[in-house]
Structures are given as C-alpha cells and as structure tokens.
Amino acid sequence: MAEFEIAIRGLEVYAHHGVLQFERDLGQIFVIDATLTVDAGTADDLEESVSYAEIAELIADDVKQNPVNLIETLAHRLHGKVMAKSPRIKRAEITVHKPSAPIELKFEDVFVTYRGDNA
C-alpha cells in the first residue's frame, strides 16, 4: 500500500443553508473542496483505492439535504460522512465556500475548512 492524496476542487451544489430566512427560502450555490489522504494499492485496481466519483456524489447529496444554519456545521458533517465511506481514508479536509454570503461589502469568497484524521 502507498499513501495518496485525492482531491476534488470546486464541486458546486445548489442548497438552502444559512441563518437568514431568505437564504433558506431562495437557496444559493455552495462550493465544496475535499482532500483525502488514502492508503491505496498500486495495482491499477479501483478496489484498492477510493472512488472520487462516489465521494463527489456523497458530498453533493448531503449538501442538498438537511439544511443547517452554519457552514461550519456542514463542513463537520461532510467530514464525518467522507471518513465513514472507507477505512482506506486516513485523513480528510473539507472546505465549504459560500460565495454569495450575505455581506454588504465587496469580497472574493467566504469559506470554512474542517480537517481531521480517522482516529
């Protein structure tokens, strides 16, 4: 086995998270980044690794469901679901971006990151 990093960047999901009622009613795009440290084989066999397609689907499905007030809560929940997907995943970092956050100032991005090991 070898240690690999698998990353998904810029996964866009339309969802209804937020503290303000209009965020819940109207929804907005959230962008998710996920970086996984995986123990995988080198035999060119998906059975010895983790499917990034399945991880992307797991994340997208979860973001669409069960709205929360805080993107911190969402990042933590996504981390737990990703870590539970496979014992091959040793560490994960999940970043939730909220590019349309309700801020009355010009800004590039708002995001939170949760990272942790499979302890």
* Active-site residue set: 98
Between CA 13 and CA 102 the distance in angstroms is 18
CATH number at residue 30: 3.30.1130.10
Expressed as residue numbers, the domain containing 47 is 2-117
pLDDT in tens, 38-63: 999 888 999 999 999 999 999 999 99
pLDDT in tens, 85-111: 999 999 999 999 999 999 999 999 999
Residue 100 is given by DSSP the state T
pTM of the predicted structure, to 2 decimals: 0.95
The total number of structural domains in the chain stands at: 1
- C-beta atoms surrounding 43 within 10 Å: 8
